[in-house]
Amino acid sequence: MNTITQYAPFVLIIAIFYFLIIRPQSQRRKAEKEFTESLKVGDRVITTSGIHGKVTQLNTEKGTVQIETGAGKILFERSAISQELSSKLNAEKK
C-alpha cells in the first residue's frame, strides 16, 4: 500500500500531462489532416504565411496545391494551408 501512495503523484502528473497537452495536440493534428485532405478546387484558403487565394489545382501524389492569388498562381505544400484561418475566411463569406 505504501508503494502505491508513493507513486500516485507521478501517475497523476502523467495523466494531467496527457489530457492537457498530448491529447489536444493529436486531435488538432487529426483535424488539420482531414481538412487538407478535403480540399477541393475552388475552395478559398489562407496559407500559414497569410497569403489569400483560391485553390486551382490539387496534386495528391506530390501533396501540393496550386493557389490563384492576385499576383498569379503559386504552388504550395498542402500542409501550408491553415485550417483555422481558412475556416474563419469561409465563415465570414457565408
Per-residue pLDDT of the chain (94 residues; tens, 9 = 90+): 688 889 999 999 999 999 999 999 999 999 999 998 889 999 999 999 999 999 999 998 998 999 999 889 999 999 899 988 888 877 776 6
CATH number at residue 26: 2.30.30.140
Nine cell digits for residue 23: 491529447
Number of domains the chain contains: 1
Expressed as residue numbers, the domain containing 49 is: 2-93
Residue 30 to residue 7: CA distance in whole angstroms: 33
